[in-house]
Structure 1
């Protein structure tokens, strides 16, 4: 598939819609769709929604990206990753229908997802944009049941624009007339750009900080909505920012309450069982470090994600912290490291196998500019070996900077 296009990212829908037409327009033959765009928290919000629906017994399909280890992870059918036989068969169908025309890998996988979703029955589909919104492959669904905007921040500027307003306008491209929108709290520039789109379409929207609020309250969280207040257990996912993500999912459920029956008891249970790999995920047992060490993973890769990490790191004050960091060339590693490098006892910088990643030496220099101590390592295994050899006291290790780096960890873990 990689030979079909000279670029890995090429936004725009004309080419993709032509392919879908040859496939019989499967995107028009779907159950209710919840369409999610934003910069951060898209995956976590979908994880909450999936947990809510599945706890009740609804059959849920989902499409998320990027994958960590295998492309199959992007397509989830009724709670399970698409199997090899189904994936291969549908993908071959897509390639044949494409007839050799330019096509990115992501477009091919997206078309495969739409085929699967149209042929395997479900009650609801959770659809995450890959990049942006306006020109994203997921934006071919004409009338979703709900549009959702998670927090928008700087990322992918080379594709979406240099200002927060331009980026937000691209994300808001998923909004459709007569489709309500639930929105997380936004910076003012992003908010104004989204507001223009809302006014143009004349649609209902439910905004965090205006129509709904969420806050932590000890071991619980409080959701204040337009239909009243409710108290919930804190979610199973680590980090205070997950309270906001859970609140966003609860707001979605409140909008859709006439379409889906989601009893309170089921949502309470779902809060304790929600799972989303690679987002402040603790790895147990850890095959690489001493028993007295904790290992955590986080795939956040932009400044806003680094701020969420910074908040969590400041709460980790019971033991030394060592960071293993790698980042893709397209990302702003300097802004990311400025948030967290100075909070770590040492940062080990690594490459990301088989990816266009920044050199460890460059990352180490940025750590030092941010006031931290750094070591450039030739690979991920060496970073673990150095920590194990040089650090005697119980410590915490955070692997962060890219979902692709986490994919490399999972690969390495499988060989351990």
Structure 2
């Protein structure tokens, strides 16, 4: 294992690690974890060993600066796959979250129960549960159906598209599908505004599986991948997703299967069709005209860069290009982008660290007094929505699709 890891022990990972920035324990850095993996402790991981490995966001910052290009996030996920079922702090909560994500009908039931509890207004104003329930949309506006009409029956008055966009599919992700359905509505609205047909949204799609993979539950991650590949097998066009983290993991589906596994080639074909939201709309969404810009006053917007997009796909430019089309003033942080601390299940496992990391990120976001905070990662979106409510801030937090769709309404008026 020591030869395989080949860590230079240079410490570059410590400088960029969000967890190390709030808790300066060497063992919490990638260097510390890589060292532990070379010891006998890794063969029979104790509760303390598992705890240290659970305190990682898997954001990928360390991989970007590693001089030997070690696959650090994959090694940590692999190590977690050998841990006990309820490893680390709040292990039972993490396991319950993973179990729920395997069953969309269970998530939907929990959402409905949460909305009902929210309406009672019986919880203390600043209780954690009330803040989380505040993330749920009451759905006063009817949702677009999850199952669209059969492909190939678009409105004949629309311009003809090539095969990749004429048979477009949409991977919603759990948050847009269950918690914030206005993201789905906004994405479909942007397609219409770009002269494209509505995207087919398979009703039998599942969670992308990133949370399961991050927790080391690799069999569950492969199970979810197979289900999603099957759900989108009815067409051959592009698959657009409005969640940056989902897109990153969907693109990584081929790495979940060995090359001799029949699902490997299917995963390759699937991944070739996946396109992240901002990359898809970058050359399709028309900009505001000069007149429309004057009717829509310039607003100050802070765009939060999701870690999975800026590290995995180098996707920092396209969100900003789309915002420029909207005619807003983009507030850029002086010290560069920071992780928000959500990290999938990390905010459940390590709420104290998650909160400390978010406080750093929120100070950065609020420094420019923005009218809106926007992002394209579902997890980051939830972290900022809950965090701004906890702090009593009046700034509105919206998904980028919703912000862009608001400009689309101006164009059509």
Same fold by TM-score, threshold 0.5 exceeded?
no
Structure with greater strand share of residues: 1
Normalized against structure 1, the TM-score is what?
Answer: 0.28
